[in-house]
Amino acid sequence: MSTPLEKRLNDYPRIELTRTPTPLQYLPNLSDSLNLKIYVKRDDLTDLALGGDKARKLEYEIAEAKAHGCDTLVTCGSAQSNLARLTTAAARKCGMEVSVVLSKDDYTQLQGNLLTVVLMGATIKIVETEDHWDLEEHALALCDDLTEQGRRPHYIPVSGTTPLSCLGYVRGGLEIVNQMKEAQLNFNHIYTPFGTGGIFTALLYTFRHSHLESAFHGISVNRLRSQCVENLETWWEALARLLDGDMPVPQEGHQIYDQFIGKEYGDPTDSCLEAISVMAKREGILLDPVYSGKMFSGFLDHHRNDCFNSGDHILLLHSGGVPALFAYQNALKDYLQTDLKEYM
């Protein structure tokens, strides 16, 4: 039987772009070594163009674009943007054109996500900005140019987070809740990356509406905690309007951390590279250096600081982004130099 939240969610059109549910996978080796019960939600295994969380968001965003007769998707991000990759793939899947505005940074080599965007034939504009959040003005100007050319563009902001796209992770949250019921699981702690905050907010919203009190931990990848809290409030209020919910933002049971960012967004910190290496060697799962690697580095830091009880059940959200690993080969090579001695 559908819950009220599920019924309200089904009122919004979506275009199916990927296969779900994704696995909720137990990590036996990591669990044994850390004396915890650790699971990972494998949203790196959504099957649209090498996977990732954006596919869930785009299902609602593109449905909205189609409803308004749009024929071109426009988005922006860093040179190794996961959103650029998945927006390009979604556009091709839906028979639409696509243009992306990317920042000129240290990772513009034809590798990783950028290579896939080129392969799928997106129109690419690379601009110099001090902050990739400043790309929006360039993307909106491109929308104006496309409109003058007779196109009907639909703009998707950095990270793909809008009120509608947040519905993708309400659906994703309900998917996790159902998997927990089937496996008779209850998580003490849930870790997610925190970029613009759409995923964190939508999952927290869904769990609280499902009367589940797992503690949520958001690991910021780009912004200070105060800015993240503002985003949480913004997206929570937007979801409440869309889903007719009247529950205020909870003041307890969740935390956001900004000490794992490094120098800037996308900075491959030593703790992030260590986290990527630990997960790869213990479980054969690849994390990315921008989102899931930072999330896991935060979790490992909390474990070192005795933040858990023995046997606690932990859920880690793997949001994808693995293609970016290949663009970070120099940082990884430096970090892994001891392991690589026999090859050098």
Q: Give CA 133 to chain center in angstroms.
A: 16
Mind listing the pLDDT tens digit for each residue in 8-42?
A: 999 999 999 999 999 999 999 999 999 999 999 99
pLDDT band at 134 (very low <50, low <70, confident <90, very high): confident
Q: Which of 31, 81, 99, 103 is catalytic?
A: 81
Residue 81 catalytic?
yes
Residue 16 CA, distance from chain mean position: 18
**pLDDT at position 247:** 86
Helix H or strand E encompassing 12? none
Residue 232, token pair as written in the block: 């949480």
pLDDT in tens, 68-111: 999 999 999 999 999 999 999 999 999 999 999 999 988 999 99
- The Cβ of residue 161 has, within 10 Å, a number of other Cβ atoms equal to 27
Asked if the model's pLDDT at residue 165 lies above 80, the reply is yes
Q: What is the pTM of this model?
A: 0.96
User: pLDDT band for position 292 (50/70/90)?
Assistant: very high
Determine the pLDDT at residue 3: 84
The per-residue pLDDT for 343 is: 54
Residue 316 has phi, psi (to 5 degrees) of -110, 130
Run of H or E residues at 173: helix 163-183
Q: How far apart, in whole angstroms, are the C-alpha atoms of residue 286 and residue 328?
A: 13
- Name all domains of the chain by residue range, CATH numbers in brackets: 4-51+163-343 (3.40.50.1100), 54-160 (3.40.50.1100)
Residue 187 φ then ψ, to 5°: -95, 130
| Least confident residue range of 36-40, 95-99, 127-131, 253-257 | 127-131
Q: Which amino acid is at 62?
A: I
Share of the chain above pLDDT 90, in %: 92
Q: Using CA atoms, how far apart are residues 214 and 177, in angstroms rounded to an integer?
A: 11
Phi/psi-derived region of residue 114, left when phi > 0, alpha when psi is between -120 and 50, beta in every other case? alpha
Give yes or no for residue 341 having a pLDDT over 80: no
Whether the pLDDT of residue 230 is over 70: the answer is yes
